Chain A
């Protein structure tokens, strides 16, 4: 009987995973493509949620509200980008500054309240957790899957263009990029804008899905995003080499993350301990390549030393 509880919760977990998968694609752009850890996302996802919620409440069309969330998210990325390139502040610190500033901004957007309800009864929402177990066109899993496919397709195209290639080169090797005439500062700002736009878009979807926008809904977002990126890579790196599939892997990684979370909760983990667990798991995954390199490096050295002796 207990197992049904888990099955019952799975559609919701998968939908949530899909939303965070979109968000994680934003993290992938900064963390993997640009090679910068951007902490702005903790703030910009809440900004996206707040903007979308307030606009929908004030009568905007859902799509227009999502577009607005995307644009405002890009502005968040612009601020971090300017801190980093124009002001010369280290990337990680720039993100923290923007994130902190956004807390106040988000409170302003939400009209001074810590959270604002966005009921599916009153507004015509795109996704809602209420429809997670229904078999209809409004099922969030269906809607979000289509959303993810479209986003991945657009990004696949974009990163194949001349501009997209120059963004990838900027992330891969700044010195090389500049030697090839690429304005790396501009590209860093552009990538941060794109990434945070996507993150804010995910925030707009998340607010609709959970039925409210909350000023602290982004707490630890970067860690969840990283978890999705890393899980996706660990599971699929051998199979998926194409860029589009790598983005898909990130999405699936987020879904797997939420399924695992659902399972450990079902097994009796206290909800309050979730963030601790997440942080530990991500820490271990992040440490693994370092440990592996250390271990292999030592063995390599031993071998090399013997050869030279």
Chain B
């Protein structure tokens, strides 16, 4: 479903701030794969996700989504194939627009936007049902501005919007990191449910090692711009924290010393 062929990315080339974020990333996701991605700060997790989303173009390599080479497509054109949820709950929705207007925008992802009315009554009913499944009572607040919602509510809404038109690939970029633990757990459970129910192919970055182990059928660990661990299937099911640390040490040839990774 997703094929990342040896991509590399260096930011600010030639400047004093030059930073090589991706050295050589090669990854293939099969349809229905739900891969969790972990790694320390600066390992290149978000860069990889943003490269897939088309936030910037890569220096080398190619990106293919469901047989379509998107390497040179701008971000807004790739959006047709992607559902995205961001780390910052403010990023995924338009604060000054209603809940239903936000959903109507997501409903038209990848379609031509013409002079038809922006939202139909039939859609409204469908949105109401969808919002009901979140169990947050948002179905009764469809005319409220999204800016009035809490971070968790906004993230849940973004998730719903990302899956409204079944994406070929769902990209979750540490989407629970900015939430309090209880809300984070809820949003995570919701993500897992949506991915399983709709049989989505998904790539989820997390800072939480346990979440990475518990969720999905595949685990990817990144280090210094490369994928150093890739566990799938039965191995992934049996995986423990200790295994993971061992794997990392062997692959990266050094002790895992990212506090953030160890602490979480």
A and B together in one complex: yes
Q: A166-B105, A172-B97 are in contact. Are A179 and B116 (CB under 8 A)?
A: no
Stretch in A117-125, A134-142, A181-189 with 4+ CB within 8 Å of B:
A181-189
Q: Which residues of A contact B108 (CB under 8 A)?
A: 162, 166, 180-181
Is B118's CB under 8 angstroms from A181's CB? no
Distance of A231 from chain B, by nearest CB (Å): 20
Is B110's CB under 8 angstroms from A177's CB? no
* Of A172, A181, A183, the contact of B94 (CB 8 Å cutoff): A172
Q: Which residues of A contact B82 (CB under 8 A)?
A: 179
Q: Which residues of B contact A169 (CB under 8 A)?
A: 94, 97, 105
Q: Which residues of A contact B116 (CB under 8 A)?
A: 161-162
Whether B70 sits at the interface, judged by CB under 8 Å, is no
Q: Which residues of A contact B216 (CB under 8 A)?
A: none
8 Å CB interface, A6-54 against B = none
Whether A84 sits at the interface, judged by CB under 8 Å, is no
Is B80's CB under 8 angstroms from A181's CB? yes
**In the bound complex, what is the Cα–Cα distance between A181 and B104 (angstroms)?**
12
The interface residues of chain A, by DSSP majority, are classed as helix
Whether B111 sits at the interface, judged by CB under 8 Å, is yes
- Max count, chain B CB within 10 A of own CB: residue among A160, A175, A176, A180: A180
Is B86's CB under 8 angstroms from A175's CB? yes
Whether A237 sits at the interface, judged by CB under 8 Å, is no
Distance of A155 from chain B, by nearest CB (Å): 13
Residue of B nearest to A179 (CB): B84
Distance of B114 from chain A, by nearest CB (Å): 6
Q: Which residues of A contact B119 (CB under 8 A)?
A: 165
* Of A158, A165, A171, A178, the contact of B79 (CB 8 Å cutoff): A178
**In the bound complex, what is the Cα–Cα distance between A181 and B105 (angstroms)?**
9
* Of B53, B96, B118, the contact of A164 (CB 8 Å cutoff): B118
8 Å CB interface, B80-97 against A = 80, 82, 84, 86, 90-97
Is B94's CB under 8 angstroms from A168's CB? yes
Distance of A291 from chain B, by nearest CB (Å): 21
Chain A: residues with Cβ within 8 Å of the partner, total of 23
Q: Which residues of B contact A165 (CB under 8 A)?
A: 97, 101, 104-105, 113, 118-119
8 Å CB interface, A162-217 against B = 162-166, 168-169, 171-173, 175-184
Distance of B39 from chain A, by nearest CB (Å): 23
Whether B192 sits at the interface, judged by CB under 8 Å, is no
Q: Which residues of B contact A158 (CB under 8 A)?
A: 115
Whether B168 sits at the interface, judged by CB under 8 Å, is no
Residue of B nearest to A186 (CB): B76
8 Å CB interface, B47-101 against A = 53, 74-77, 79-80, 82, 84, 86, 90-97, 101
Is A181's CB under 8 angstroms from B93's CB? no
Q: A166-B105, A180-B108 are in contact. Are A160 and B93 (CB under 8 A)?
A: no
**In the bound complex, what is the Cα–Cα distance between A238 and B205 (angstroms)?**
42
Is B93's CB under 8 angstroms from A162's CB? no
Is B75's CB under 8 angstroms from A178's CB? yes
- Max count, chain A CB within 10 A of own CB: residue among B93, B109, B118: B118
The interface residues of chain B, by DSSP majority, are classed as loop
Chain B: interface residue count, which band?
20 to 34
Residue of A nearest to B104 (CB): A165
Is B96's CB under 8 angstroms from A163's CB? no
Whether B106 sits at the interface, judged by CB under 8 Å, is yes
Q: A169-B97, A172-B94 are in contact. Are A180 and B115 (CB under 8 A)?
A: no
**In the bound complex, what is the Cα–Cα distance between A272 and B74 (angstroms)?**
51
Is B97's CB under 8 angstroms from A181's CB? no
Distance of B56 from chain A, by nearest CB (Å): 12
**In the bound complex, what is the Cα–Cα distance between A181 and B113 (angstroms)?**
10
**In the bound complex, what is the Cα–Cα distance between A161 and B108 (angstroms)?**
12
Residue of B nearest to A161 (CB): B115
Q: A180-B79, A180-B108 are in contact. Are A173 and B95 (CB under 8 A)?
A: yes
Residue of B nearest to A173 (CB): B94
**In the bound complex, what is the Cα–Cα distance between A178 and B109 (angstroms)?**
9
Is A181's CB under 8 angstroms from B95's CB? no
**In the bound complex, what is the Cα–Cα distance between A43 and B75 (angstroms)?**
34
Distance of B160 from chain A, by nearest CB (Å): 13
Distance of B238 from chain A, by nearest CB (Å): 36
Q: Which residues of B contact A184 (CB under 8 A)?
A: 76
Is B115's CB under 8 angstroms from A163's CB? yes
**In the bound complex, what is the Cα–Cα distance between A172 and B77 (angstroms)?**
20
Q: Which residues of B contact A172 (CB under 8 A)?
A: 94-97
| Per-residue B-contact encoding for A126-159, CB less than 8 Å = 1, 0 else | 0000000000000000000000000000000010
Q: Which residues of B contact A175 (CB under 8 A)?
A: 86, 91
Pairs A-B, 8 closest by C-beta atoms? A181-B79, A172-B94, A165-B118, A162-B113, A181-B109, A172-B96, A173-B94, A178-B75
23 CB contacts below 8 A, A to B, read: A160-B118, A161-B115, A162-B114, A165-B97, A165-B104, A165-B113, A165-B119, A172-B94, A172-B97, A173-B91, A176-B93, A176-B94, A178-B79, A179-B82, A179-B84, A179-B86, A180-B106, A180-B108, A181-B77, A181-B80, A183-B74, A183-B76, A184-B76
Other contacts beyond A163-B115, A166-B105, A180-B79: 18, CB < 8 A: A160-B118, A161-B113, A161-B115, A161-B118, A162-B115, A162-B118, A165-B119, A168-B94, A169-B97, A172-B95, A176-B91, A177-B94, A177-B105, A179-B53, A179-B75, A179-B86, A182-B76, A182-B79
